[in-house]
Structure 1
Amino acid sequence: MSARAAVPMNLVVSLITLLGAFAVRATTLSTESLHDFAMAIHGLMLGSLVGALLAPGVLRRFSERGFERVLALLLLFVAAVLIAEAYFPAIPIGFADPESWAGLGVGIALGAVIGAIAALMGVAGGEFLIPTLILVFGANAATAGTASLAISVVAVTAGLLRYRAMKMLPSRGELRRIALPMGFASVAGTIPGAVLAAQAPDTTLKLILGAILIAAATKTLLHQPARS
């Protein structure tokens, strides 16, 4: 499977995982804290919807290697900020009010960028949504993780609809053979993650997230594009 064909396949797997993860989190974590970030979440949803719908159109023309390098650098930057904030909590975060119209506007702008990146890379976008909710809107790690699931469902669904219109979705055979097994296996993996999010200290979650982002950036930088 080519890298471009893998993008919509990854989105299908991501959608299955997101729906399962949200259901699991709803049983282990309270969703009441999301109400305090309603405007920010709605803004990120709307922005990611627009970004995810527009981004697939440029996939065929984009320099894959150049985009991967930019993405890796962004991941490393966000990881560094999260780890620094975990060790030095005095670092100011949450400069945008998540319950204001300004927070809605900031959410739309950032969501459009994140939604575009997610649709181009075939990922759910949590690598950027969670740090954005923590660093920009001041959410704790558990709340940010739950909110990112809801936002990502919107973005991933929009991306899949766009790829469907472009006739780039995987075949039914590929969905049964690849997407469904991977998706259900990923859902099983969300159970220990949800338990950890409910019980681990916020600082620990930030350090874990930072380590995951560094690993993702390293994998992206080391990725060798397929040769035709």
Structure 2
Amino acid sequence: MSANDITASDRRAGSVPLVFAAGAAVGVLGGLIGLGGAEFRLPLLIGLFGFAALSAVILNKAMSLVVVLTALPARLAAVPFADLNAHWTVAVNLLAGSLLGAWAGASWAVRMRTATLYKVLAALMVLMAGALVLTHTTTFGSLMLPGPMQAAAGVAAGFGIGVVAAIMGVAGGELLIPTIMLLYSVDIKTAGSLSLLVSLPTMLVAFARYSRDGSFAVLGANLRFVAIMTAGSIAGALLGGLLLGVIPDLVLIPALAVVLLISAVKVARHRPPSM
């Protein structure tokens, strides 16, 4: 962990309106597209608040975990548990890969040079921008794979999603939802709820792996910052949910994709803070 991440923690948390507003902006964006929006939070942690790459990922993971826990009861209320129970094999199939992927991704992240991690994060933001556009502009059919091939594809897809989610500190819904629809012919509403059931244990595994690294201390040093930004994210997500559909996807999705691409360029060019 960068020494700057600890020494500047009080200054960051002291800017309560800015921290809350940043969290709220992320929450609104996530609410507008029906996702967590953590991919938009990551560049703010790096560019606006000056956290080093790995510290930003760990903080993003902690906040994403709280947001998912908050969203899960509401999502389960919208989609009866009985409906999800009919698709329990989908969650198990994906988890067989995503849990391993989360551990592997977090392990790779803590071992990467900071400069390399910035570039990897930038590349993954480009991936998220592409996934965002595809999810909201493409009608997904089904691959109709035979049972064994479907199971193998689910494990492989889960592993890749687990890696990406761990390295970025996100829930991974942007990738999980289209994967569930494509591989298992599940409707988008049910897929959204299933993605949360897969995301939660996957995030816990990545979180457990990060807790074994010295950089995890950044979380304890910035608890007030995390609490304020998380509160903003939850409030923003509620507002974004109310605004869902107000802005046409034809305008919203390309705009958000451009935001991610610009963020990716800035993160790729970011210089690690001095120790």
Q: TM-score range by the shorter chain?
A: 0.7 to 0.9
Q: What amino acid maps onto 1:23 in structure 2?
A: P
The verdict on how the C-alpha distance between 1:207 and 1:161 changes in structure 2, with shifts beyond 3 A counting, is: farther
CA contact (8 A) 1:51 1:116 kept: yes
CA contact (8 A) 1:48 1:112 kept: yes
The verdict on how the C-alpha distance between 1:211 and 1:30 changes in structure 2, with shifts beyond 3 A counting, is: farther
Q: Please list, as runs of the form range in 1=range in 2, the aligned pairs for 1:12-23 lying within 5 A after superposition.
A: 12-23=62-73
Q: What amino acid maps onto 1:172 in structure 2?
A: G
CA contact (8 A) 1:94 1:138 kept: yes
Q: Please list, as runs of the form range in 1=range in 2, the aligned pairs for 1:134-213 lying within 5 A after superposition.
A: 134-169=181-216, 170-175=218-223, 177-191=224-238, 212=256
Q: Name stretches of at least 5 consecutive residues in structure 2 with no aligned partner.
A: 1-50
Q: What amino acid maps onto 1:114 in structure 2?
A: I
Q: TM-score, normalised by structure 1?
A: 0.78
CA contact (8 A) 1:39 1:103 kept: no
Quick check: 1:124 aligned with 2:171? Answer: yes
Q: Please list, as runs of the form range in 1=range in 2, the aligned pairs for 1:208-219 lying within 5 A after superposition.
A: 212=256, 215-219=259-263
The verdict on how the C-alpha distance between 1:196 and 1:37 changes in structure 2, with shifts beyond 3 A counting, is: farther
Q: TM-score, normalised by structure 2?
A: 0.66
1:37-93 CA-partner distances (Å, limit 9, x unpaired) = 3222212122111011112222232623442343244234334433442xxx4xx62
**C-alpha root-mean-square deviation of aligned residues, in Å?**
3.1
Point out the structure with max Rg over C-alpha: 2
Q: Which residue of 2 is the match for residue 113 of structure 1?
A: 160
CA contact (8 A) 1:2 1:226 kept: no
The verdict on how the C-alpha distance between 1:189 and 1:107 changes in structure 2, with shifts beyond 3 A counting, is: farther
Quick check: 1:61 aligned with 2:112? Answer: yes
Q: What amino acid maps onto 1:5 in structure 2?
A: S
The 1-side partners of 2:106 and 2:195 are apart by 21
Q: Which residue of 2 is the match for residue 82 of structure 1?
A: 135
Q: Which residue of 1 is the match for residue 77 of structure 2?
A: 27
The 1-side partners of 2:149 and 2:238 are apart by 35
- Choose from 94, 98, 102 the match for 1:44: 94
1:141-196 CA-partner distances (Å, limit 9, x unpaired) = 22222111111111111111001112322343412x12222223323344456678
Identity between Structure 1 and Structure 2 (%) = 26
CA contact (8 A) 1:52 1:155 kept: yes
Q: What amino acid maps onto 1:39 in structure 2?
A: T
Q: Name stretches of at least 5 consecutive residues in structure 1 with no aligned partner.
A: none
Q: What amino acid maps onto 2:161 in structure 1?
A: I
Q: What amino acid maps onto 1:130 in structure 2?
A: I
